[in-house]
Structure 1
Amino acid sequence: MNQKQLERMAGGQGFIAALDQSGGSSPKALERYGITSDAWKTDGEMYDLMHEMRTRMMKSPSFDNRILGAILFENTMDRQVDGKDTADFLWEEKGVIPFLKVDKGLEPEKDGVQLMKPIPNLAQTLEKAKGRHIFGTKMRSVIHAANPKGIEEIVRQQFEIGKQIADAGLVPILEPEVDITIADKAEAEDILLKDIQEELAKLPADTKI
């Protein structure tokens, strides 16, 4: 674990940039930048265009110390910017802490929540991420109702996988997201806070999340 990155993440201020659009969401992201689907014929060509777009963003003067961290899609982590691995470019040239999206999407809704799908080969992915100088990870699940059973399960899953990530030497962002449109949002957040506090109390003092 990079101590300077840990200190900046713990004490710094700024945004965390989401540069982690996957294959499913990439066409919509490209379209918003004026690149329509007739600009590519294969997934490989689409990912090339996505990386060009992300590279322009990362190299922009506006991508500065207001950005504390950036979440990368695995395909982006495996590429380079100006001859450097993407994570190295972010940290060495911009002072931005690199994270990796590790979740594989969401299960269908049950008990008012969407749990994460299984994450195959997570241990191997974490080892590769460490070799690419990734600091931490991000994984998202969604709460659609103030259902105590569902929220308890979503928090349990987040912490269970988060502990595996922390044990591997990376710092996980746990993201049990509450849908901002639901009528019982405040109640869902109260339940979520209680469950998170209970799980935090179980963690060893030296676990970083």
Structure 2
Amino acid sequence: MTMINEQMRAKIAGGDGFIAALDQSGGSTPKALQGYGVEEDAWSTEEEMYGLIHQMRSRIITSPCFGSGKVIGAILFERTMDGTVDGKPTPQALIDQGVVPFIKIDKGLEAEENGVQLMKPMPELDRLLERAKSLDVFGTKERSVINEANMSGIAVLVAQQFQIAKQVIAHDLMPVVEPEVNIKSADRATSDELLLTAILEELDALPDGQQVMLKLSIPAKPGLFEPLVDHPKVLRVVALSGGFSRAEACRELAKNRGMIASFSRALLSDLRAQQSDQEFNDTLGSAIDEIYRASTTKVAA
């Protein structure tokens, strides 16, 4: 393992701060741009659309507050990883800011079956992992979704997640396993518990010395995921915002010891293309401060 990899591992394992999710892709790109104040008539081709989202991400990554030490990692979309920021490959631009780069590897979700949405096949995954490794990317992230508390559905979903995680580990990259529980589901609390059980079983089956990261919905019952936070085969447990507003997500996250944020919408929701650099940096800075506090200063539930 290279020195840079060891430093990145130490920062992610023990660093104070959170992981920014800058990985909206494909179908969610127009929505992300619209939220940023860029309407669909601003581009006419897919290339132009991706160019606009890359400008937004470059603006975030190069903002002084992004490299303030409060953001310890960032998850990129594949095209962002392959692009450049200030003339450097994006992962290198992040590393120079003291931010550990990750890449989203899933190709989206299958239709719901047994209350869950599995990941679509990833036939090119080995090639993508090799490319990521060559760009000094530290880890990967893959997402699937649990919509209802279906025990067999959840078991299959978690098994798929860990199967992909093992493929990632074989490339000397750190997998971020993301089995998202839909926070709007009626039996969310039961799904959380079934998920915890399924993850613990998969962790026990992992060979000693191997680790994963977990990106989970903030549990309905505060502290539920502490056994995962303390598990020797888990490098770090991060939380997604999952449709909560930033204020709600931060309030709920602060009740969970050892969980840090990996927010996307809740981080970027107040940023607009029309803001001056000063306004943009101030807005991003206050969002970073709020999420940092919820990740590092915990309260009794």
Give the alignment's TM-score, normalised by structure 1: 0.97
Q: In the aligned structure 1, how far is the partner of 2:30 from the partner of 2:82?
A: 20
Match of 1:82 in 2: 86
Task: Name the amino acid aligned to 2:41.
Answer: D
Is residue 26 of structure 2 the alignment partner of residue 23 of structure 1? Answer: yes
> Which ranges in structure 1 are unaligned for 5 or more consecutive residues?
none
Q: In the aligned structure 2, how far is the partner of 1:163 from the partner of 1:146?
A: 25
Alignment map for 1:158-197 (pairs within 5 Å)? 158-197=161-200
Task: Name the amino acid aligned to 1:98.
Answer: P
- Offset of residue 145 of structure 1: 0.8
Task: Name the amino acid aligned to 2:192.
Answer: E
> Which ranges in structure 2 are unaligned for 5 or more consecutive residues?
213-301
Task: Name the amino acid aligned to 2:122.
Answer: I
Match of 1:121 in 2: 124
Match of 1:66 in 2: 70
- Offset of residue 205 of structure 1: 1.5
Secondary structure (helix, strand or coil) at the match of 1:98 reads: strand
Moved beyond 4 Å, runs of 4+: none
Match of 1:46 in 2: 49
- Offset of residue 168 of structure 1: 1.0
- Higher mean C-alpha displacement, 31-40 vs 99-108: 31-40
Q: In the aligned structure 2, how far is the partner of 1:28 from the partner of 1:187?
A: 31
Structure 1, residues 38-83: CA drift from partner, whole Å, max 9, x if none? 1111111111111111000111122131112111011000111111
Secondary structure (helix, strand or coil) at the match of 1:29 reads: helix
Secondary structure (helix, strand or coil) at the match of 1:8 reads: helix
Q: Over aligned residue pairs, what C-alpha RMSD do you find? A: 0.9
Q: In the aligned structure 1, how far is the partner of 2:38 from the partner of 2:110?
A: 30
Structure 1, residues 75-125: CA drift from partner, whole Å, max 9, x if none? 000111111110011011x11110000000001111010000101210000
Task: Name the amino acid aligned to 2:108.
Answer: G
Give the alignment's TM-score, normalised by structure 2: 0.68
Q: In the aligned structure 1, how far is the partner of 2:31 from the partner of 2:195?
A: 31
- Offset of residue 136 of structure 1: 0.3
Task: Name the amino acid aligned to 1:113.
Answer: V
Q: In the aligned structure 2, how far is the partner of 1:135 from the partner of 1:68?
A: 12
**Percent of aligned pairs with the same residue?**
55
Task: Name the amino acid aligned to 1:54.
Answer: R
